[in-house]
Amino acid sequence: MKMTDIMPPGLALKKVDERIMTLNVGPQHPGSGHMRIVVQIDGDYIVACDPDPGYVHRGEEKMAEYRNYITNVPHLERPVIHDSCNVLYPYVLGAEEILGIEVPERAKYVRVICSELNRCIYTMYWLAIYGIFLGHSTMFMWPAGDRELLIDLMEKVSGARVTHAHFIPGGVRNDLPANFEDVCLRQVNYFEKRIKEYAAVFYDNPILISRTQDTGVLSRENAIRYGTTGSVLRASGVDYDLRVKAPYDVYDELDVHTNVMKEGDSYARSKVPWLDMMESCNIIRQALQKMPKSGSVRTKLKPNPKTKGPATVYKRVESGRGSLGCYIVSDGKTEPYRVKMSVPSFRNLLAMPNLLIGEKLGNMPSVYWSLNYWPVEADR
């Protein structure tokens, strides 16, 4: 259907460029987050969209060139503080390869547990904001309250609520606290029971379905062409999860199931992260079972560790938003020559202008946030 067919005749007679209005959404807007989206609307329909990120561009990559491999850890996790373990993970894997250190077996399992807990913490926050973007206050309160359970667990492990700086080159900063396994198992089981209840209040809610189904449809071909990743890609029917396809650390010893949906609309994109959280609970239970019960969790390094010589590494992990890569160029000095974070939010951003064209303006928040987008990470 062409837009002019459903316009009132008086409007349709006008020349197109007289009807078009340019609208700034953000950075101070309840539906924009930390960025500005410039949209041009014709009546209620978006005809052009130009995302304008960079409001939180803090120059992390430049700063990384002035710090050594260990002191880079705290500031490189700041792009996504509620997913701080995963955002550090590829950097830590790359630094280990460049520094030439082995990681103890127990540390790898601790990393997997922390990484999965963080994925849930991230996704719950994302879900809470998605709820409030759609005006669904219950869906803000429930996830925002339930994620505190897992934050408590991570606080026991690392001592901080969100910024853990727990993964370091050589392992993890400290061992799991005493009796952690029991507490973790209990909390995770309760957490899984809770998130299953979200289906009734959110995912089976007819209002939500009518607002998100068939909006912002991303076809399989376009999902691949735009280079999207993570839940956006899996919601468009591409079976790709790095934990299965290119397992790192001990993921190859764990049984990971990939959730794929075919529809590619906002509804599918909002449902895949929720299914992934249940999968995370499974992985945590497996890892707790298989983890060596004792042993070292950290290969000690000198304060200013020496590299093995010039090298380049590119490591990828599956974060809460998708494949997160870190490209490190080392010239043999104690500081990296160049660190590049290939972040999933930045990659998914490319899909946004293409998805929004032809949508109603009212659907913009639901399409935008369903891209699993965290602006701070995209800007770095």
Partner 1 sequence: MSSDSEKPQTEVKAEEKPTPPKPAPKPAAKVEEKPVELPAFEKGISDKLIEKFGDKVEVDFVKEDRVGIKTSKESVHDVAQFIRDDLHYDHAESVTGVDFPAENEIEVVYHLGSYTESSLARQVLTLSTRAPRESTPIPGQDSTKLPSLRDIFYSVEFGEREVFEMLGVYFDGHPDNRRLLLPEDWADLPPLRKDFAIKGR
Partner 2 sequence: MLKDLVTPENANVFVGKLGDILEKAIDKPLGYAINWGRIWSLWPVHIETACCSVEFGAASSPRYDVERFGIIEAFGSLRQCDLVVVQGTITRKMAPRLRLVYDQMPEPKYVIAMGACAITGGLYFDSYNVLPGIDGVIPVDVYVPGCPPRPETLIQGCILLQEKIKRMKARKFV
Considering CB under 8 A, how many residues would be counted as binding partner 2?
37
How far is C-alpha 371 from the chain's CA centre? 10
Instruction: Give, as ranges, the residues between 115 and 144 that touch partner 2 (CB under 8 A).
Output: 125, 128-129, 132, 140-141, 144
- Which entry of partner 2, partner 1, none binds 192, CB below 5 to 8 A by partner kind? none
Smallest gap from Cβ 277 to partner 1, in A, equals: 23
State which of residues 54, 145, 159, 362 lies at the interface with partner 1 (CB under 8 A). 54
State which of residues 101, 144, 183, 217 lies at the interface with partner 1 (CB under 8 A). 101
Token digits for 21? Answer: 């209005």
Return the residue matching tokens 């399992």: 109
Residue type, 2: K
If the CB atoms of residues 23 and 141 are measured against partner 2, the closer one turns out to be 141
Instruction: Give, as ranges, the residues between 30 and 69 that touch partner 2 (CB under 8 A).
Output: 30, 33-34, 54-60, 62-63, 66
Helix (H) or strand (E) holding 167, with range, is strand 167-168
If the CB atoms of residues 19 and 340 are measured against partner 1, the closer one turns out to be 340
Q: Would the CA dihedral through 21, 33, 323, 203 be positive or negative? A: negative
Cβ 351 vs Cβ 53: under 8 Å:
no
- Backbone φ and ψ of 110, nearest 5°: -60, -40
- Backbone φ and ψ of 169, nearest 5°: -55, 125
- Going from the C-alpha of 101 to that of each of 15, 308, 339, the distances in angstroms are 66, 10, 19
**Interface with partner 1 by CB under 8 A: which range of 146-154, 202-210, 242-250, 285-293?**
242-250
Return the residue matching tokens 């853990």: 164
Smallest gap from Cβ 229 to partner 1, in A, equals: 8
User: Cα separation of 343 and 230, whole Å?
Assistant: 11
Contact residues for partner 1 (CB under 8 A)? Answer: 53-54, 57, 59, 61-63, 66, 93, 96-98, 100-103, 224-227, 229, 233, 238, 240, 245-246, 248-249, 308-316, 323, 325, 327, 329-332, 337-338, 340, 342, 346-347, 349-350, 379
